[in-house]
Structure 1
Amino acid sequence: MKHVLSTVITSLALGAALTANAQQSQADIDKKVDALIAKMTLEEKVGQMAQVTLDVIGKGKNRYSADQPFELDPAKMKDVFDKYHIGSILNTSANRALTPQRWYEIISTIQKTSLKTDKNKIPVIYGVDEIHGATYTDGATMFPQQIAQGAARNPKLTELGASITAYETRASNIPWNFSPVLDLGLTPTFSRMWESFGEDPYLCSVLGAAMIDGYEGKDNNIADPYKLASCMKHFLGYHATISGKDRTPGYISEDALREYHLPSFKAAIDAGAHTIMINSGIINGVPVHASYNILTKLLKEELGFNGLVVTDWADIENLHRRDRVAATDKEAIMLAINAGIDMSMIPYQYEVFCDNLIELVKEGKVKQDRIDDAVRRILKVKYALNLFDKPNTHYKDYPKFGSKEHEKAAYDMAAEAITLLKNEGSVLPLKKDIKVLVTGPNANTMRGLNGAWTYSWQGDRVELHAGKYNTILEAVQNKIGKGNVTYVPGVSYKEDGHYYDELANQMDEAIAAAKNADVILLCLGENSYTEKPGDMNDLYMSDLQTELAQKIAATGKTVILVLNEGRPRVISKFEPQMKGIVQTYLPGNFGGDALADILFGDVNPSGKLPYTYPRYPNSTIGYIHKPSEEQKKAEGVYNYEADYNPQFPFGHGLSYTTFEYKDLKLGKPAIKKGENITVTVTVTNTGKVAGKEVVHLFTSDLYASSVTPDVKRLRRFEKIELKPGESKTVSFELTPKDLSYVGRDGKTLLEAGDFEVAIDKLKATFTLSE
């Protein structure tokens, strides 16, 4: 009874704190911030603009790598908080996940130390990359990565997953999450493609806003102890590199920047996201961290973003040391702060940043007003989080942490994300009384299912924390019995084992084992990676895996290819020999269970590709492209080999039932500028099992005057569930914004003319007039 009473009292206290803060208007916060800024010295203000990594204040010989197990160093904290007034800490130490209790001990001590030494009693704001669950917390619920959520096409599940992540992150005493990623996954070679929701601006906008609603609540009341401050990233055009490699230059025209890359960030700002992180790369020759036009003119003035702008890891010093647009660190700091940066993720040499910025202000090279604006944005977030009144959240107040309820949400997301790409002869679902050979490097690994940012940066510590969950092999064994399953790993990921754990090369053993199997589950893909370690030169599936696939197929057995990868590795060398293909993406800790349920028919797959799956490495054009990129073969003309020819198109995904689309209708055959138009279609489940279907609405502007129109664009989608024989009429409404495009001058145009609407294979045309 004492425990129950304590829980009730705690809940009431949390509710009271929430209610009190909810009644605090933005005007009240602004007054408190202005009053506080008026009392602060220049040194204190600059300290608020600095963020250092946890190792800096840990015991050890240097600040780059603290001793383990991690312990805070009072002397280092005194320098950081008392002398330099540092306002933010990020990250974990030595790439290790901690328990909620340990997080509480560390961060509460940091807060206590900072508040004790700071005469203004300003709390620290602690931030971590919790991108698919509470990444750095042992026992947290790990959801499918964003690319899989893009495949699920279910905003409600995305919002729920983010809400659970917020809850479990707060259970770790962390109030700031560097998520969501709103970059477009345009380049299949890019090492962070899987961190995006996919290649479409509208898809990214809808799911990004849903994720922010989950993190912050629809009212953005982040004082709620179950919510946190989200951080949009990476503004702007981060994935659109020419080389396809991380943190390399992009060349993006003004119309492309606004047409494709800006919408998801605009939607997130409208959703109320409190903070934003900046693109580490270079656009049109200018590092984004030094771009006044992007950070101030576009982000703060045009888009009206009033929140906190933070750099990515060491990106101010990169202006000098890597990008060479600044001759010194001091000049780099001047460029970045004047461009519009509010907080520097330093992460180690805080003295360089603080001392130089103080000098720059005294020299008049950075205006005091710019400093005050940056600090005001930082303090507003701290007040919004209620950190001044409640700097810590206690793990004991979060009884649902890692609960079955939360795990069920992660499983549901994985089950809706996994995508059936090929099902020749309805080979799937499989019967449960068969003999199965499970082979391939992704068959028995939790690391492959989760990807990076899982218990550690590169995901290389997953096996230390995820032992209680099921790999693909274990899930299949649980489904049909160990006696019906043979496992041979087959091959490693790459011949040299570079960046990957080696597996024994057992290709001959796998071929031999195939003789006794009815079906072979060939589990291919990638190990975990992100950022520069994930850069690649060859988009084909690795040579050893390709050889295994070809030799396994040559046995004549039924082969089901299970893809477990963060980006679409090219499989055209062996795809024709695969009877079935299932894409799992990076489905998280419950991906193995969800996959087994799909393979054996307990779940009907409903995922849809969030990107275009290329057939060849030199043919990676996405579904958003120009008519000239579809080089149609014509009689008497060149027989073009390089036509638009993806292995699987954007939006592709099969089901164990069939859906019929009919009666595509427009509200009017013609509309005038400023009017909306309604589009309806009837969808019927014509199969024998219940299923979920994503209804996609595309539009095509048939002619445009300023720039060549795209072949088609996704404007709406809705996921529906139908029983056998059931029909549903789905209705969409298109606005003038959906019919507009960005011209060469960067301005939005709405032009009279004909437009085409497409849903599935149905099409209809309407006219827009002046």
Structure 2
Amino acid sequence: MTLEEKVGQMTQLEIGMITKGDGDNIQIDNEKLEKAVVKYGSGSILNVKDQALSVDKWHEIIRAIQEASKRTRLKIPVIYGIDSIHGANYIQGSTLFPQEIGMAATWNPALMQRGAEVTAAETRAAGIPWTFSPVLDLGRQPLWPRFWETFGEDPYLAKVMGVAFVRGVEGDDVSSNKKVATSLKHYVGYSFPLTGRDRTPAWIPENYMREYFLPPFAAAVKAGARTIMVNSAEVNGIPGHINHHLLTDILRTELGFDGFVVSDWQDIKKLVTEWRVAADEKEATRLSIMAGIDMSMVPSDYSFSDILIQLVKENKVPTSRIDEAVSRILLVKYELGLFEQPGPDASLKSNFATSASRAVALDAARESLVLLKNENSVLPIAKDKKILVTGPTSDTLISLNNGWTYSWQGDKPALYPKDRHTVLQAIRAVAGDKVSYVPGVAFDKEIDIDAAVRAAQSVDVVVACIGEASYTETPGNITDLTLSEPQLKLAERLQATGKPVVLVLVEGRPRVINRIVEGAKGILLALNPSNEGGTAIADVLFGDYNPSGRLPFTYPRTPNGLITYDHKLFETEATSYGNTAFTPQFTFGSGLSYTTFAYSDLQVSPQSVSTNGEVKVSVSVTNKGQRAGKEAVIVYVRDVVASLSPPGKRVRRFAKISLEPGQTRTLTFTIRAEELSFTGTNNKPVLEPGDFEVLVGGLTGKFKIQ
């Protein structure tokens, strides 16, 4: 390969560099395509211009790109990448699933894997072999506008769900016509900005980084993930794209990652314009490539190619580094089978948007719903009751989905399907003319609260659907988690009528609602359950489905009462030196059911274990209620005393089970002693002898490590 051909493989351009027009009228611009693929030999193209496209349109575009690649000297196929975040969301008519935060609330990795299998099959059906997912950032800063793209605050939960995602998308043979390559993102520490604002600095000590933020990536790398996308922000003053220690020392040498690393959007340029660690783009390019970036998401000009060729000719970037990057890229293309089948396969359209896939999405939406309050069994609602539905999330699919849905911000109603129910439509489908509807408020302004209050007088129960519109990345930045004043006012006025009010929270991050929690009889949390979410919510409200979701994060009571479940024990307690006791609004792992589960007979053995041994934890769970239900059994372990102050508890195992009324099931979990280590100040795992406690379903057991 010539130097120019190699650098071309390292170049990724956006779709606008080869097309003209927009929306459904987008089409290949042959002159632009020839320049991008034939002249510059660009190895990758990505994204949509402004909206999702049909399968047929994708076939037209991908086919033209790969035909152009055949006009190059080496005929190396282009790898097309796209953000299939919660399903193949940039392909019209695809099956969409709850966002990652909702999937985390299911605590069901098998369901996550089934959803990922559908996502892969539908992405590949469009001729696209590479998705920029999953997001493996931890959701430990709820202000962050991409919080809902995470699997929540716990690294073990994120690790298990992330591995399930990778296994579902890539499978055992990523060249299969139902599989695509993943891109783990955003490596690493992106989700913990000090301010909560997107793409702003994080300050994370390395031992804390290794303890919390690195494990989901490490597990997904071990599971075989082919590519990684880099943190767009910085950690400890070093932008992710020039952090050699993270990109090479840890990712390559320690974790053994052998795929390729791609930058995020324009992030080499931003080293100059935003982070100011390079005087010009030439220096930014040198720093990035030498740190470990293999492919640059440029994506809207040819600067990267021109500059990198200059750098190599000037001996500022060694040819060996270029060869290393290109070898990694070509290997992934080979593993994907692109050299044998670069273009789309029309027969794969039969894999697209099947009834079976939709059934999986509905299952996921149902299991993602978290029942947080059910005073006096206000839920389920009898189907003969008169119901008022109100609030800004009641009659829109946009809030049910959030960003990365048919467009970047997910805010174009015309793109949404007409045959999927909003919450209002789903409730009406069950209760018919017993349902009345008054909007009451928009997200940030009053419409007619008085009308909603009047309507409440003549019904048996009020369903107030409140929460957030769609957003992601910097457009979603906020400075206060408190729910908007018009929505709080609507709920307060409705509660003042004396009618039972059920709050349906449709949101991607935990908006503070302490003013209206006490007055609410029921609270159902819907973490962007997607297009099947309206039906799923109605199923739970009317009792056709028994809720089983559990919170994958800690829900704050106040804007500054931010804490994670694994805090130090004293942090929420009153102390002699003036620390005021406080509690979150809802604790991590919270979630009610229409049945009752009782835990008993917790057994921990052996009582003493060596540092290379293992502990078995068994517990019996009984369904004491009158209906079948699912339960997420969560095993926490507490290190009682450690040389670094220990967290109050950590999730070490979990399982989702289903029990019929009266049924008992005994579960046994095996935990290796080495998994109970912590990362010391030397950034190495430390396993100390001492006492440990096991906490499951209100029961406590003990053991020692010797």
Q: TM-score by structure 1 length?
A: 0.91
Displacement of 1:59 after TM fit?
2.5
Letter in 1 for 2:290: N
Displacement of 1:745 after TM fit?
1.4
Letter in 2 for 1:287: P
Match status 1:106 vs 2:44: no
Separation in 2, partners of 1:301, 1:489 = 57
Separation in 1, partners of 2:129, 2:413 = 24
The SS at the match of 1:386 is coil
Q: Tell whether the 8 Å contact from 2:440 to 2:447 is kept in structure 1 after alignment.
A: yes
The SS at the match of 2:66 is helix
CA 592–688 in structure 1, closer or farther in 2 if over 3 Å, else same: same
The SS at the match of 2:491 is helix
Match status 1:361 vs 2:298: no
Residue of structure 1 equivalent to 2:255:
303
CA 618–398 in structure 1, closer or farther in 2 if over 3 Å, else same: same
Displacement of 1:664 after TM fit?
0.5
2:7 is aligned, of 13, 21, 46, to 46
Which consecutive unaligned segments of at least 5 residues does structure 1 have?
Answer: 1-39, 61-65, 496-503
Displacement of 1:630 after TM fit?
2.6
Residue of structure 2 equivalent to 1:90:
46
Q: Tell whether the 8 Å contact from 2:166 to 2:182 is kept in structure 1 after alignment.
A: yes
Q: Deviations over 1:483-511 (max 9, x none)?
A: 1000111111114xxxxxxxx71211111
Residue of structure 1 equivalent to 2:75:
121
Q: Deviations over 1:197-242 (max 9, x none)?
A: 111000000000001010011x2x1110110001110000110110
Separation in 1, partners of 2:573, 2:367 = 35
Residue of structure 2 equivalent to 1:493:
443
Match status 1:597 vs 2:549: no
Q: Tell whether the 8 Å contact from 2:612 to 2:674 is kept in structure 1 after alignment.
A: no
Q: Deviations over 1:693-752 (max 9, x none)?
A: 0000000111111x2111100000001111111100011001023210001111100110
1:660 is aligned, of 598, 602, 616, to 598
Separation in 2, partners of 1:652, 1:225 = 40
Q: Tell whether the 8 Å contact from 1:58 to 1:67 is kept in structure 2 after alignment.
A: no
Match status 1:193 vs 2:151: no
Residue of structure 1 equivalent to 2:495:
553
Residue of structure 2 equivalent to 1:275:
227
Letter in 1 for 2:441: V
Separation in 2, partners of 1:396, 1:510 = 52
Residue of structure 2 equivalent to 1:226:
178
The SS at the match of 1:234 is strand
- Of the structure 1 ranges 392-401 and 504-513, higher mean CA displacement relative to structure 2 is found in 392-401
Match status 1:80 vs 2:32: no
Letter in 2 for 1:758: L
Letter in 2 for 1:290: I
Residue of structure 1 equivalent to 2:701:
764
The SS at the match of 1:581 is strand
Displacement of 1:397 after TM fit?
2.5
Displacement of 1:68 after TM fit?
6.7
Residue of structure 1 equivalent to 2:333:
382
Residue of structure 2 equivalent to 1:17:
none
Which consecutive unaligned segments of at least 5 residues does structure 2 have?
Answer: none
Match status 1:736 vs 2:673: yes
Separation in 1, partners of 2:243, 2:570 = 33
Give the aligned CA root-mean-square deviation in angstroms: 1.1
Letter in 2 for 1:108: R
Q: Deviations over 1:428-481 (max 9, x none)?
A: 111000000000000000001111101111001244332110000000000111
Residue of structure 2 equivalent to 1:155:
109
Separation in 1, partners of 2:398, 2:282 = 41
Q: Tell whether the 8 Å contact from 2:609 to 2:673 is kept in structure 1 after alignment.
A: no
Separation in 2, partners of 1:57, 1:291 = 32
Displacement of 1:639 after TM fit?
6.3
**Aligned 1:250-649 pairs, distance under 5 A:** 250-350=202-302, 352-481=303-432, 483-495=433-445, 505-632=447-574, 637=576, 640-641=579-580, 643-649=581-587
Letter in 2 for 1:79: K
Q: Tell whether the 8 Å contact from 1:189 to 1:245 is kept in structure 2 after alignment.
A: yes
Separation in 1, partners of 2:579, 2:328 = 55
1:717 is aligned, of 649, 654, 674, to 654
Q: Tell whether the 8 Å contact from 2:272 to 2:280 is kept in structure 1 after alignment.
A: yes
Match status 1:144 vs 2:98: yes
Q: Tell whether the 8 Å contact from 2:126 to 2:349 is kept in structure 1 after alignment.
A: no
CA 282–226 in structure 1, closer or farther in 2 if over 3 Å, else same: same
Q: Tell whether the 8 Å contact from 2:125 to 2:351 is kept in structure 1 after alignment.
A: no
Separation in 2, partners of 1:67, 1:704 = 58
Displacement of 1:632 after TM fit?
2.9
Residue of structure 2 equivalent to 1:672:
610
Residue of structure 2 equivalent to 1:754:
691
Separation in 1, partners of 2:47, 2:591 = 37
Displacement of 1:67 after TM fit?
8.3
- Of the structure 1 ranges 463-472 and 438-447, higher mean CA displacement relative to structure 2 is found in 463-472
Q: Tell whether the 8 Å contact from 2:503 to 2:524 is kept in structure 1 after alignment.
A: yes
Letter in 2 for 1:539: L
Q: Tell whether the 8 Å contact from 2:23 to 2:51 is kept in structure 1 after alignment.
A: no
Taking only the aligned residue pairs, the percentage that are identical comes to 50
Q: Deviations over 1:596-654 (max 9, x none)?
A: 01111111000000100000011111112123423335xxx46643x341000000000
Q: Tell whether the 8 Å contact from 1:456 to 1:462 is kept in structure 2 after alignment.
A: no
Q: Tell whether the 8 Å contact from 1:519 to 1:559 is kept in structure 2 after alignment.
A: yes
- Of the structure 1 ranges 736-745 and 149-158, higher mean CA displacement relative to structure 2 is found in 736-745
**Aligned 1:162-181 pairs, distance under 5 A:** 162-181=116-135
The SS at the match of 1:731 is strand
The SS at the match of 2:225 is coil
Residue of structure 2 equivalent to 1:694:
632
Separation in 1, partners of 2:610, 2:23 = 68
Separation in 2, partners of 1:508, 1:92 = 43
Q: Deviations over 1:278-318 (max 9, x none)?
A: 00011000001011111011111111100010011111101
Separation in 2, partners of 1:760, 1:632 = 25
Letter in 2 for 1:492: A
Separation in 2, partners of 1:638, 1:736 = 36
Letter in 1 for 2:12: Q
Separation in 2, partners of 1:754, 1:564 = 42
- Of the structure 1 ranges 455-464 and 418-427, higher mean CA displacement relative to structure 2 is found in 455-464
Separation in 2, partners of 1:466, 1:153 = 28
CA 465–736 in structure 1, closer or farther in 2 if over 3 Å, else same: same
Q: Tell whether the 8 Å contact from 2:62 to 2:344 is kept in structure 1 after alignment.
A: no
Separation in 2, partners of 1:463, 1:625 = 44
Displacement of 1:269 after TM fit?
0.4
Equivalenced residue count is: 706
The SS at the match of 1:383 is helix
Separation in 2, partners of 1:447, 1:191 = 16
Separation in 1, partners of 2:413, 2:98 = 14
Residue of structure 2 equivalent to 1:29:
none
Residue of structure 1 equivalent to 2:156:
202
Q: Tell whether the 8 Å contact from 1:660 to 1:684 is kept in structure 2 after alignment.
A: yes
